[in-house]
Homo-oligomer: A and B are copies of this chain.
Amino acid sequence: MTITLIPVKGIPEVREGDDLASLLQAAADFEAGDILVVAQKVVSKAEGRVVGLDDVEASEEARELAADHDPRELEVILGEAARIVRTRPPLVIAETRHGFVCASAGVDHSNAPGPNTVVLLPVDPDASARRLADRLGVAVIVSDSFGRPFRQGTTDVAIGVAGLTALLDLRGVRDSAGYELRTTMIAVADEIAGAAELVMGKTAGIPAVIVRGLDLRGDGGASDLVMPAERDLFR
């Protein structure tokens, strides 16, 4: 099984209210079974998840966490955080309302529409993925770059999933020698998001990638990838 990762080129700068599905449809030639990975940034922008910092007043807590950074940005981060996991000012690692643990609760000023704006995660990224999947007729992953404990650097992961299996459950499956597998739950949607990042790069202006040749059609969601609190040894 050969898999191909194809950049979707020619997507213009996305603004609030843009019909992202139409932009993607016009730029890409989809085939049955394709998986489309779309960068969170363009999904959030189309959905208007952008905050102008001039409209934000920083609280005392935000000022304390900001160190030499803009305390208004920290205020937005605190607003997006359901739980603060670690802090080392101005770095905040937080759990979002979706259950994702990531830097700045997903709030980001890179690739934002303006110097005084930040972009938030979609309110419901699985629903964002579902809307695109329904319009485009392919499986969709909304991806974002997350850091990880213990390892340097970010990898892209799936924060929204529609039309495919997010977590491949191989419990009970046996290896070629007949022994039951130890590693039995594979976060395939995260692996796909990471693969797509290799094509997107960070500055190339490629916000979407087609993954072709990998049939994982199913009905998973990115919520499948969130570790339940009771199983989380690092909570």
Residue from A6, A181, A186 with most neighbouring chain B CB atoms (10 Å): A186
Contacts of A214 in B (CB 8 A): 198
User: Contact: A152 with B5, CB < 8 Å?
Assistant: no
Interface-forming stretch among A50-58, A124-132, A154-162? A154-162
- Nearest neighbor of A149 in chain B, beta-carbon distance: B234
Question: A151 and B157: CB pair below 8 A?
Answer: yes
A155 touches which of B6, B153, B170, B191 (Cβ 8 Å): B191
| Bound-complex Cα distance A104 to B157 (A) | 24
Contact B195 A152 (CB under 8 A): no
Query: Is A67 an interface residue when CB atoms closer than 8 A count as contact?
Result: no
From known contacts A1-B7, A198-B195, A214-B198, infer whether A154 and B186 are also in contact, taking CB-CB under 8 Å: yes
Q: Are A226 and B186 neighbours in the complex by a CB distance under 8 Å?
A: no
Decide if B187 touches A153 in the complex (CB within 8 Å). yes
Instruction: Check if A34 is an interface residue, CB within 8 A of chain B.
Output: no
For window 46-99 of A, CB contacts with B under 8 Å fall at 86, 88, 91, 93
By DSSP majority rule, is chain A's interface helix, strand, loop, or mixed? mixed
| Contact of A154 with B179 at beta-carbon distance under 8 Å, contacts A3-B199, A86-B233, A194-B195 already known | no
CB-CB under 8 A from A112, the residues of chain B are 177, 179
B181–A227 CB distance below 8 A: no
* CB of A92 to closest CB in B, whole Å: 10
Bound: A214/B5 CA distance, A: 11
Closest to A189 in B: B153
Whether the Cβ atoms of A1 and B179 lie closer than 8 Å is no
Task: Please indicate the chain B residues that have their CB under 8 angstroms from the CB of A228 in the complex.
Answer: 152
- With the chains together, A111 CA to B194 CA distance in Å? 26
Known: A112-B177, A173-B203. 4 other contacts (CB 8 A): A104-B182, A152-B224, A153-B186, A173-B202
